[in-house]
Each structure stands twice: as structure tokens, then as C-alpha cells.
Structure 1
Amino acid sequence: MRGTCQPSCSKCLYFSLLTLTFVLLLELVSGRNLTFAILIYRHGDRSPIEIYPKCLHNESEWPHGFGQLTTLGMQQQHELGQYIKKRYSNFLSPTYKREEIYIQSTDVDRTIMSAQVNLAGLFPPSAGEIWNPQIPWQPIPVHVVPKSFHPKLRFPIFDCPRYKKLLRETMTSREFQDQIKPYKKFLKTIAANSGYDMKSLRKLDTFKLWHVQDTLYCESIHNYTLPEWATEDVRAKLGKLTVMSLSSLFGIYKREEKARLQGGLLVKDILETLSNAAKDPGKRKMIIYSAHDTTLGALQMALNTYNERLPPYAACQFFELYQENTGEHTIEMYFRNDTSRDPYPVTLPGCSFACPVKKFADLVSPIMIDDWTSECRRR
């Protein structure tokens, strides 16, 4: 038996060395190295946040109440964690190293839980990390910062008078009115069926229209009985209106100024982190943020890369910093919103896909802000 095993093992070793040599040669030829990565993802599937007045189901019918991560959401985040592990298998250490990675979540149950289960897929315990053979999981810190202390992950930020003024202007703008005009009759029907009044449905800062769409979407996924009026066509129209609402919060009207007060805060943080990593690379290799669909929407709208679709559960935005063979550092962006294919490459308008850090900084400079409080108070 031993005699037949040796040739096989030697052959495996030979091919392993050949593969490793090929990878190293490929990196040498390409002349570029990944040096840092920032990931921002939306939490996994959850129960509705808030039901509409005439909803058929109440909070007690959901296992853990409103706004909570479901078992489906856990599966989605675990899969994303496994994908991240695979994508960065030649970048991150195979086991968890606290000096390499930092994870931060908004102060919300579903995002904290999403980060925890994502990490279970990213860093399953092995060898000395196994503390209980019956539990294939290890504790990894998830840092939570309340919105009041650091608002960069929770958008929109309504505690900003200037932004609220811009939002009111948006609702009366020609651009917004032109988009909502074809839906006026439809909104009357939704008002009658949902129990909300028309004024509430049309106001962007109440999220009432979004709550109707979101509740029906959650109920359909989890096979709850839907009201007769909530046909497939009605839900499709609600989906389009919800996309328009998200676009209106961060764009459509005075996008750049809104970005300075909203998603631009996160863009600035990302740019500063990548710029510092380019100047002085340390042991840390990755930062991961567990957040929301509005976080991704505000971020993409600020970058002017929004694809006019609601970010699905566990959607993930990637920022990767590379050092080219010239010594120059570039930023690449990817968006993963479909588990059946690789993430979509995203190009910052006005730049190449691999965008030089300085060029990236120049292009986003109009949405950068030095004194957020002062700009918020501006009339």
C-alpha cells in the first residue's frame, strides 16, 4: 500500500508546486499587487421593518419580530463570507489574524448578526482555533459604533437642516414631478389599499411607500398570504417607485450637494483609508462594513455609479487598492449583486477602470466636505 501511495503523493506535490510557480509568475508578469481592500455589504434577508395600516399580518407572526435577520439572510451572508474567503485566498491569511482585518457594523441587530454569520463563512476555525469540535465557529470581534457618534454608515442623515431643505426642493422639482406624474392614479389605489394617505406616500422622508413595497416583498419571499390587490404587476410598479424614491433621496436633483451631506462622508472615509494604505502600508489589509441598502445607494449615488436598482440582500461593494509595477497606486471597484456570476466591474466616471488614486481623489473632490456641521446649517 505504501509503495502505491508514494508516486501519487509525489505527483500531487509536483502539480502543487507547478501551480504555485504559475501563480507567482503571473503576479510577476502582471507587475501589480493587491495591497488593501474595503468591502461594504448590505445585511441578509430580514422581516419587514414596519407594516402598513391595512396589512394582513402583524409583528407576532414573524419569528423574531420586525427588522430581524432571517435564516435565509444567514445563509446569504454565510455564502458571501465564503466568497470573500475564496476571492482573497492569496491575500488574507487562511486563518483569522486580528491585525489584518477590521469589521464594523451599524448599531442594528440585522447588520451585527449579518457580520457575525459572514465571518463564520470567511474564517471557519481550523486546527488550534477549534475550541469545540461540535461547533464549527469561532468568535471574531465586530465593532459597533452608534450613528450619533459616527454617521458614515447610516443614510439618509436627516439631522441636517440643509439636506432636509434639499429634500423638500427635490419633491417639488420638475425632475421629480416628471417622474412621479405617471404614477399618480396608481398611488391613489395604493393609498386606498394600504391605509396610508396620499401625502404620506409621496413624502420621501416618511418611507411609507417603501414600507408597503418592502412588506409585500418580505411576505412573498416567506410565503405569507398576500392581499388580493397585490398582484405581480402592482408589486412591480411599487418596486419601480421604490427605486425612484431611493434615487430621489440621494440624486435626481442637486446630486453633488446631497452627496456632500450624505454618501460623500463614506466616500471620503474610503479614500482617506486607501490613500493612507498607499503611503504607509501596515499589517492591516482589509476593512469590512456591515450596513444597509441605503448605505450602498448613497455611496453609489455619491460616486455617480448607481445602477438604478435596489441593492439586494447581501449585495457587496468592493474597493481594491493595487500597486502597479510603476509604483503608482490604483483603485478598482466591483459590485456583487448576483451570486451566479463574478462581481460587476464599476468604473468611476471620468477615469479608467484601474483609477489612479490621485485621479480618483480629483474626481470625487466636489463631494468632499471638511466641516459637515457648518454645511448642514447653511441655508
Structure 2
Amino acid sequence: MVSAISILALLALSGHVTTYSDGTKELIFVQTLWRHGDRSPTKTFPTDPFQEDAWTFGGGGWGQLSPAGMKQHLNLGKMLRSRYVGDYQFFPTKYNAKQVTTCSSTSTNSEFQIYVRSTDVNRTIISAMSNLLGQYGQNDGSSVPDVDYPNITGWPTGYVPIAVHTVDDDTDHLGNMEATCPFREQVWNLAKTSDEVKNFINSEKVQSMLGNLTKFTGQTVDIDNLWIITNALYIEQIYYNDTIRTKNTWFTDDLYAQADAINDQVQLYQNGIFKTVPNVVNGHDVGVLTRKVRGGPILDDMVMHMNIKLDCQGKTTPNCTWINNLKNYVYSAHDTTIYAFFSALLIEEYAVKPNGGYPLYSAAVLLELYIDHADNKPYFKMVYHEQENSGFKDITMGIQGCPNGTSYCSLDILRNFAQTIKPDQPIDQWCYTDLDAKHAGMTTVSLFLIAVILAIQNDFMGLF
């Protein structure tokens, strides 16, 4: 890895000059992770009067982005443009197709600024398109007719399409927390046998709620499919609030609130957040393993990008050309993605409403990389957009080890987190290993020690 001192020298040699500095700190790279906008339910329960034919927007059917969701991301795109084009003057004012390419180590194109990766579902792809429309598709004179877009009747004036890349959803372990991964399922099944989770499941309030919902919904409800009911009811209150109580006669605000609170706690468990730290079952710390297999891959990917960005300054070798002028890497994904990412960093409280629940529509994380010319070291800043109509909130100081009273934190803190929570093998291989295989057992001691260290640090820092 390039030294901090050589970073500055390489920057000088390359003639690289960014257009935004905060004192001695110079911004060189931004990564953005956002949730899609408002959508229809992805599925529902058998007795629900609002089945798939009740959802007609966005082309119709389950899990489609609504016009409201498109607007949320259009507005977020405008906010991002205001921050990085207007205020920071860091992103280019005008989109240039030469500045977008695939992130391949064999690419020969050294001039591009933005790369957008979406999970392979309509709502995240269209959210990305809507967001980019807000960033680079407005009729503000920055794009030229018949140069950047066709000057014909029917084409929105100023709209320049920007490519959105994707990979198969079943193998997308960065963006899709439900990608095929038998190992993750083994860890979750083991976590459910822990005393903490068993006591929760067997509590009177949980058993009573699951029993009532089983009676009301026409299917057996357990903690694994409870989210289907709460999510459908949440969206139906947005779109069918006037009739939901008459068509679902068992529905009440109190029942929904109780079911939602139970589901919130389940989501904490499913993301590796337990009150018992370490939560060791059969020699495995299910909390650490869960965070490794869910949020570990995307955290590792982001830190990898920052390390490469730093290491490639001033280099023109083939493995560096793709990132030399890349200023923004975007992940268009899901609430589950942000939740897993924040849980990997043990800052899930920023991602969710009090005590659980998922990030809201169009929530976005901005991870900014800086070089400090005073000490020649790299720093990061993490900023959060909670929902539509909210601004950008600095959450850097909430990360364990980052100092209070400043918006910046040493990149080594993030690197250490990524190393601690990095999957034990490449995730597409680890997902197909057995939890109790010899190689998995060899990591148990190190996982336990890491959990103990985190527990001691958390207690010392007063975070729990």
C-alpha cells in the first residue's frame, strides 16, 4: 500500500488538482450508496385484499418503483448536484460520455468520472436513472442539443442518458443481501438457537402476535416471513389508508405497531446486532459471522476502491487507468444493503428508526475520501441522507475510534473495520462452504477474540 508521504508526491507528479478543499484536506473520491424510492410491495399474504392487480404504477405488479419514488430520487440527484457540482465544484458541470466506462482493469480510457452499479431489479435501476436525471438531465444549458442528446420533438430537453451497470441478482453479494448464500442461511439458523433469540421468539408477546397473524393472514407466520406482512401493511397505509381498515377488518394501528416493533427486533438479529456480545453458539460468534457475510463484502469493496484510488495516484499502468479520474462510484441498492453496511460498522442506529426498522426510501450514504496536505495522510467523512426532504447529516464521529468534534476520521479506522469484518474467503466462495467445515472452524478463535475486543471497546466507549 502506498505510504501517506508518497501520496502527496504522486499527486504532485500527476498534476492532479481537485476543485474542492476544506482547509488542508482535499477531496479526491466519493462513493454513494442509496436505497431505491417508494415502491409497491414485493409480495403479500393470501388473505390480503390488495393483491398484485391492486398495484398499477411503474408498469404494474410487485416491487415496482412508483412516480413518488422516481421523484424522490430526482430530488436526491438534484441535491447531490448542488453539493458536488455547485458547492464543491468537484463533479463536472457537464456530463461527458467519455467519462463513463466499465470498471475494468484492462480499460484504456483514462477519462471518466462516474460509475453506477445497480442491483438487477427494476426499482433500483429506475431509481438510479431518476437520480442521474436530477444530476445531469436538467434543462439548465449544461448539455448541448444534437451533441449530448437528440434535438427532436419528444426528447426531454437537456436529458442525457447515463449508463447504469448491473450483475445477476442471485450472485450480487454487494448489493443484494438476499443473494444466494447457503452459508448465510446456516449462520442465521444457528443464531436462532442462541438463548437471546430463543427467549425473544418464545416470549408471550411474540408468540401471541405470530399466532394472531397466522389466523388473520391465511398462512403460517414466523419471524422469517413476518416482514412480508408488516411491509405490505406499511405500503397499504400509504396508498389505501382510507379502505385498509374496512377491507382488513382485523387491522388496527395498535396491532400494526406491535407487529412492526417485533419485526424491527428481528431485523437487528438478522444483521448481527445482539445484546449478548459475543453471542457464541457451538463455538461460533453468530454476530460477527452475520456482519461478515452481510455487510462485510460491500464495506470491503468501498475500502478497496479507496486504497486503489490512493495507490494509483500518478500511475498510468493498465490496472490504474479505470480509477485515475473516477470521482464517484455509486451503488443503487436497497434498505437491507444500507442496514448491513451500517451494522458492519456497528452504527446501525443511524440507519434505522429507534430500535430497529430499515432505512427509509431514498436514504443515501456518502463516503468521501480526502488527502490532508498538512500531515500527508488520508481521511474519510461519512454523511447520511435519511429520507426525502432531509439534508445531509455528518455521522463520521459515530464510528468507533473516530474523534468527536471533527467531521473527519483517519482512513485507517475504516480499513481496520473492513479487515475485521471482511469475509474469510471471497464471498462467492464462502457462501458455498459449510459452517462447521474444518476451514470454518479454524477461524472461530480469531472471531471470538475480535468479538471480545469489540465488546470491551464498546463498553469502554459507552456505546452500549
Query: TM-score surpassing 0.5?
Result: yes
TM-score by length of 1: 0.85
Residue 44 (structure 1) aligns with: 37
Q: Does 1:348 align with 2:399?
A: yes
Residue 94 (structure 1) aligns with: 93
Q: Which residue of 60, 71, 74 maps to 1:75? A: 71
Q: Is the 8 A contact 2:362 2:387 kept in 1?
A: no
TM-aligned CA deviation for residue 69 of structure 1: 0.6
TM-aligned CA deviation for residue 332 of structure 1: 1.3
Q: Which residue of 156, 171, 184 maps to 1:135? A: 156
Structure 1 residues 38 and 365, CA, compared in 2 at 3 Å: closer, same or farther?
A: same
Q: Is the 8 A contact 1:350 1:363 kept in 2?
A: no
Residue 21 (structure 1) aligns with: none
Note the alpha carbon deviations across 1:147-204, whole angstroms, 9 max, x for none: 345421110445233x22221122222222344423221221122111221xx423x3
Pairwise mapping of residues 125-164 of structure 1 onto structure 2 (< 5 A)? 125=138, 126-128=142-144, 129-132=148-151, 135-136=156-157, 137-161=159-183, 163-164=184-185
Q: Does the residue aligned with 2:306 lie in a helix, a strand or coil?
A: helix
Q: Is the 8 A contact 1:81 1:120 kept in 2?
A: yes
Q: Is the 8 A contact 1:256 1:366 kept in 2?
A: no
Which one-letter code corresponds to 2:212 in the other structure? T
Q: Is the 8 A contact 2:21 2:27 kept in 1?
A: no
Residue 358 (structure 1) aligns with: 412
Which one-letter code corresponds to 1:369 in the other structure? P
Structure 2 unaligned regions, length at least 5: 1-18, 101-111, 280-285, 314-323, 350-355, 437-464
RMSD across aligned C-alpha pairs, in angstroms?
A: 2.1
Q: Does the residue aligned with 2:222 lie in a helix, a strand or coil?
A: helix
Q: Which residue of 202, 205, 208 maps to 1:185? A: 208
Q: Which residue of 336, 339, 346 maps to 1:294? A: 336
Percent identity over the alignment is: 26
Pairwise mapping of residues 255-270 of structure 1 onto structure 2 (< 5 A)? 255-270=287-302
TM-score by length of 2: 0.70
The worse-fitting range, judged by mean Cα deviation, of 345-354 and 304-313 is 345-354
Q: Distance in 2 between matches of 1:318 and 1:276?
A: 18
Q: Distance in 1 between matches of 2:258 and 2:150?
A: 51
Q: Does the residue aligned with 1:56 lie in a helix, a strand or coil?
A: coil
Q: Does 1:220 align with 2:242?
A: no
Pairwise mapping of residues 1-379 of structure 1 onto structure 2 (< 5 A)? 30-63=23-56, 64-89=60-85, 90-97=89-96, 98=100, 99-125=112-138, 126-128=142-144, 129-132=148-151, 135-136=156-157, 137-161=159-183, 163-180=184-201, 181=203, 182-197=205-220, 200-202=221-223, 204=224, 208-223=225-240, 225-226=243-244, 227-251=248-272, 252=274, 253=279, 254-281=286-313, 282-307=324-349, 308-325=356-373, 326-346=375-395, 347-352=398-403, 354-371=408-425, 372=427, 373-374=429-430, 376-379=433-436
Q: Distance in 1 between matches of 2:335 and 2:163?
A: 23
Q: Is the 8 A contact 2:296 2:341 kept in 1?
A: yes
Structure 1 residues 29 and 277, CA, compared in 2 at 3 Å: closer, same or farther?
A: closer
The worse-fitting range, judged by mean Cα deviation, of 275-284 and 137-146 is 275-284
Structure 1 unaligned regions, length at least 5: 1-25
Note the alpha carbon deviations across 1:50-76, whole angstroms, 9 max, x for none: 110110122112110111111111111
Higher helix share: 1
Q: Does the residue aligned with 1:38 lie in a helix, a strand or coil?
A: strand
Q: How many residues align?
A: 347
Q: Does the residue aligned with 1:318 lie in a helix, a strand or coil?
A: strand
Which one-letter code corresponds to 1:187 in the other structure? L
Note the alpha carbon deviations across 1:334-378, whole angstroms, 9 max, x for none: 221134443232232122352212232123322113523247334
Structure 1 residues 29 and 302, CA, compared in 2 at 3 Å: closer, same or farther?
A: closer
The worse-fitting range, judged by mean Cα deviation, of 57-66 and 241-250 is 241-250
Which one-letter code corresponds to 1:143 in the other structure? H
Q: Distance in 1 between matches of 2:167 and 2:415?
A: 26
Q: Where does structure 1 differ by over 6 angstroms across 4 or more consecutive aligned residues? A: 26-29
Q: Does the residue aligned with 2:192 lie in a helix, a strand or coil?
A: helix
Q: Is the 8 A contact 1:157 1:262 kept in 2?
A: no
The worse-fitting range, judged by mean Cα deviation, of 288-297 and 300-309 is 300-309
Q: Is the 8 A contact 1:53 1:194 kept in 2?
A: yes
Residue 18 (structure 1) aligns with: none
Note the alpha carbon deviations across 1:312-353, whole angstroms, 9 max, x for none: 111111111011122211111122113444323223212235
Q: Is the 8 A contact 1:46 1:67 kept in 2?
A: yes
Which one-letter code corresponds to 2:236 in the other structure? E
Which one-letter code corresponds to 1:49 in the other structure? T
Which one-letter code corresponds to 1:170 in the other structure? A
TM-aligned CA deviation for residue 27 of structure 1: 6.4
Q: Distance in 1 between matches of 2:251 and 2:392?
A: 33
